[in-house]
Amino acid sequence: MNHSNLTDDERELARLVRDFADEVVAPQAYEADRTKTLSMDVVRQMGEMGLFGLPFPEEYGGQGGDYFALCLAIEALARVDQSIAITLEAGVSLGAMPIFRFGTEEQKKEYLPTLLSGERLAGFGLTEPEAGSDAGATRTTATLDGGEWVVDGAKQFITNSGTPITRFVTVTAVTGETDGRKEISTIIVPNDTPGFTVEPAYDKVGWHASDTHPLTFTGARVPEGNLLGERGRGFANFLHILDEGRIAIAALSTGAAEGCLEAAIEYASARTVFGEALATRQSIQFMIARMHQRVHNARLAWHHAARLRDAGRPFKTEAAVAKLTASDAAMDNARDATQIFGGNGFMNEFPVARHYRDSKILEIGEGTSEVQLLVIARALGIA
């Protein structure tokens, strides 16, 4: 990994997380993937390292760092296990960050300390069977009744929603109408709420060790004070959260692309074909050189977007560029690494096979590649 543009503290953080990834995360990755089990021990150790609290102020139990630091950690983890990397990314960007950004002081003090320590996790309920990027199609409702919100509806593809330490999910719901348009607000729903059901986990193509469930709400009642942020601003607020999250997904994608590059270099150097190392073949050399180019460009893209975000400057378009560039890099590098590995690349015990399955979702989650293209086109004034 190129650390030339990092501060000493950032370089040390990247090294520490990279060592943790190699020594703790990587050895359990195959078995976790095979059994579709999220290691709560690994999550606990990440919490003890302070990773869940990286971009938050110390007053709430955070590390006082920034979003760039979080993304460095996510990239380092994704080299060896995307499931663990997305657990951290979602735990921060989709679990704790909405509380920090839009919560009342009381909500922050109640929820943030255990989220930032990694003792608890939280989910983010936006996507529905009929709605995702299309906010107007949201069908989940929340109606005030006697000082309580009554939530009815369903959400799908919700990360960190059913772990043993999940405390709550925040869900977008229709709370009324304004000028004929749906008023969408955000409600905090604790996991032990009667009427809230975490359905059985999905049988996914990849990210097998990441916790992902559909959710249903049938007359789930929570206090009126569980409204998160201003009423009617739920979807708008979450769009801001998604912009930040796209930088983190770009960092995760970069880590995955780098993991494939490292594996390809090692394998091509050791594999003998017709009496010579596979790496002596110019076609393989060129393929690996392209892989390096993709990692380099992806890293530059997310670094730029993260620096803008942390400087308080507009970053929406740069986040879209970063996610598009990096997710393409992850998918392309996974394909090329698998090709270099040949038959071994089709065996799940090899990391490149897991990256091949895992990387496709990077072109879909937190805004599809097509959505990123639309964001960029709008910024150019042509959409």
109 and 198 housed in the same domain: no
**Whole domain around residue 224: which residue ranges?**
122-233
pLDDT(249) > 70: yes
298 and 367 housed in the same domain: yes
The whole-chain average pLDDT of the chain stands at 95
Once rounded to an integer, what is the mean pLDDT over residues 203-225?
A: 97
Query: What is the pLDDT, as a whole number, of residue 86?
Result: 98
261 and 342 housed in the same domain: yes
Which residue among 214, 233, 252 closes a domain? 233
371 and 271 housed in the same domain: yes
> Looking at 130-144, 188-202, 343-357, which range is the least confident one?
130-144
Q: Which tens digits make up the pLDDT trace of 177-200?
A: 888 789 999 999 999 999 999 999
- For residue 275, what is the domain's CATH number? 1.20.140.10
Query: What is the pLDDT, as a whole number, of residue 2?
Result: 56
> CB-based contacts of 158: which residues, under 8 Å, 6+ apart?
123, 124, 125, 127, 169, 212, 213, 214, 215
Query: What is the pLDDT, as a whole number, of residue 3?
Result: 57
Which residue among 73, 91, 120 closes a domain? 120
126 and 100 housed in the same domain: no
94 and 220 housed in the same domain: no
Amino acid at 346: F
| 1 lies in some domain | no
229 and 246 housed in the same domain: no
111 and 228 housed in the same domain: no
Query: What is the pLDDT, as a whole number, of residue 159?
Result: 97
34 and 159 housed in the same domain: no
Active site residue 258: no
> Looking at 125-139, 181-195, 202-216, which range is the least confident one?
125-139
Which residue among 85, 120, 155 closes a domain? 120
The dihedral over CA atoms of 202, 203, 206, 209, expressed in degrees to the nearest 10, equals 70
List the catalytic residue out of 75, 262, 318, 366.
Answer: 366
Mapping DSSP onto H, E and C, the string for the chain reads CCCCCCCHHHHHHHHHHHHHHHHHHHHHHHHHHHHCCCCHHHHHHHHHCCHHHCCCCHHHCCCCCCHHHHHHHHHHHHCCCHHHHHHHHHHHHHHHHHHHHHCCHHHHHHHHHHHHCCCCEEEEECCECCECCCHHHCCCEEEEECCEEEEEEEEEEEECCCCCCEEEEEEEEEEEEECCEEEEEEEEEECCCCCEEECCCCCCCCCCCCCEEEEEEEEEEEEHHHECCCCCCHHHHHHHHHHHHHHHHHHHHHHHHHHHHHHHHHHHHHCEECCEEHHHCHHHHHHHHHHHHHHHHHHHHHHHHHHHHHCCCCCHHHHHHHHHHHHHHHHHHHHHHHHHHHHHHHCCCCHHHHHHHHHHHHHCCCCCHHHHHHHHHHHCCCC
Query: What is the pLDDT, as a whole number, of residue 1?
Result: 53
| 2 lies in some domain | no
| 366 lies in some domain | yes
Q: Which tens digits make up the pLDDT trace of 259-300?
A: 999 999 999 999 998 999 999 999 999 999 999 999 999 999
pLDDT(208) > 80: yes
184 and 116 housed in the same domain: no
311 and 223 housed in the same domain: no
